[in-house]
Amino acid sequence: MKKTATFFAVLLVSGSAYAVVPTPTLPAPPPMPAPQISGVKAAVLLDVNTDQVLLDQNGKTSYDPSGLVKLMTAYLLYQAEGQKMLQPNEHITVSVDAWHAPGSRMFIQPGLPVTVDQLTHGLLIDGGNDAAIAIAQSVAGSVGGFVDLMNREAAAMGLHQTHFVNPDGMPTPGQRSTALGMARLARALLVKFPQVAQIAGLASYQYNHITQYNYNPLAGQNGITGLGVGLASGNNWDLAVSASKDGRALVAVIFGASSRAVAGTDASAMLHYGFHGWQQQQVYPAGAVVAQVKRIDWSPETLSVITPTAITVAIPRPSQGKVEGRFVADPKLQVPLKAGAQVGTLDLLWQGKVLKTEPVVAKNAVAKAGWFSRLWHRAQGAL
């Protein structure tokens, strides 16, 4: 038996004509496992381009967002600039309240010149609470009025578990949000005001001959574009980090890490997972027909459902199987309908899991059919 086995092996090696053993087909490697972020209260990884949550550990539980509150302060500042209420080179009058703001500071003071652009750097790089107070007073006239704007904007963004009490993030009873809420806010800031990335990722800046360093432990690294750090209490650090690579952008949010360094290490692992474990894929171009709804009491009888914009999703690497679309009609769908009206949603599924949901619209207008049209539709259906 031993000789036979040896002879068989020689035949396989010595001549290709005898190589009858097929090359085995190996299974595709499994997707990269998500990192387990331990020792923190919550962690969320969000894909900015597709608005997909790639990792969620306790991301919907409310905590004190501490300094991450400044993301909304920055959002409202950029919004005010866009509305020409303030200009980047405009000089701001510093109040005594801003001068004496506790916590992290950029060291502004009454009578010392400071511009909106300098306040923006102080807010986003070293998390200056004095900058936050000065910005709030400049935009809304008072801190209280600015906080009202913050909560109004949070409601408009759908951040229902978020409530702001101040613009600087100093621990205050009633100030709450979630890691997912802060990730959504960070995405809105990056998408609507991309110029924030030109400042928030800087390692340092100088104001009044004082060099201030970014509290973000990942700032200055290749691809890192911001965003904020906060200290909720003792050893209880919050961190929001944005990064871009190969046309993709991600946001990692950590609540309750034991130190800034630990928060940075965890966020770095999350970003690595997002960039290397997931890939972006366009599944539908704008105007793609994804469903047709047919009713004999409609005129025309068939409604074509299309994507209003191109739909892109993030899927795990390596790609195994295709992304499927599942149309879900609005249960209150009624005619008449105008072309372009939303008629439902499209679930994008990968291996049975819903990756994201997008609105879809009517391609053609539809009206209620008259009695003759309904009769004709029934006759056509009977053929």
Report the CATH number at residue 150: 3.40.710.10
The answer on 114 and 261 residing in a single domain is yes
The answer on 256 and 137 residing in a single domain is yes
pLDDT at 16 over 90: no
Mean pLDDT in the chain?
Answer: 89
| Residue 280, pLDDT score | 92
233 inside domain: yes
The answer on 294 and 229 residing in a single domain is no
Distance CA 107, CA 307 (A): 51
Tell me the one-letter amino acid at 246.
D
Distance CA 314, CA 282 (A): 9
**Angstrom distances, CA of residue 29 to CA of 33, 234, 314, 316:** 11, 43, 18, 11
Distance CA 138, CA 85 (A): 9
- Model's pTM, two decimal places? 0.86
Q: Is the dihedral of CA 167, 172, 176, 179 positive or negative?
A: positive
14 inside domain: no
**Range of the structural domain that residue 227 is part of:** 42-279
SS3 of 240, please? strand
The answer on 208 and 323 residing in a single domain is no
Helices 129-140 and 70-82, axial angle in degrees (round to 10): 40
Which pair of tokens denotes residue 154? 């949070």
Distance CA 177, CA 149 (A): 16
Q: What are the backbone angles phi and psi of residue 372, rounded to the nearest 5°?
A: -70, -40
Is the Cβ–Cβ distance between 77 and 69 less than 8 Å?
Answer: no
Of 263, 279, 295, the last residue of a domain is 279
Distance CA 261, CA 320 (A): 36
| Residue 24, pLDDT score | 65
The answer on 319 and 198 residing in a single domain is no
Query: Hey, how many other C-beta atoms are within 10 angstroms of the C-beta on 273?
Result: 19
The secondary structure element, H or E, covering residue 55 is: strand 52-57
pLDDT digits (tens, 9 = 90+) for 160-205: 999 999 999 999 999 999 999 999 999 999 999 999 999 999 999 9
Is the Cβ–Cβ distance between 69 and 168 less than 8 Å?
Answer: yes
The answer on 331 and 263 residing in a single domain is no
Q: What is the total count of domains within the chain?
A: 2
Length of the chain (residues): 383
pLDDT digits (tens, 9 = 90+) for 269-307: 999 999 999 999 999 999 999 999 988 888 898 999 999
Query: Hey, how many other C-beta atoms are within 10 angstroms of the C-beta on 104?
Result: 23
24 inside domain: no
pLDDT at 319 over 90: no
pLDDT over 70 percentage in the chain:
89
Q: 195: phi > 0 → left, psi -120 to 50 → alpha, else beta; which?
A: alpha
11 inside domain: no
The answer on 344 and 260 residing in a single domain is no
Q: What are the backbone angles phi and psi of residue 346, rounded to the nearest 5°?
A: -125, 115
The answer on 296 and 255 residing in a single domain is no
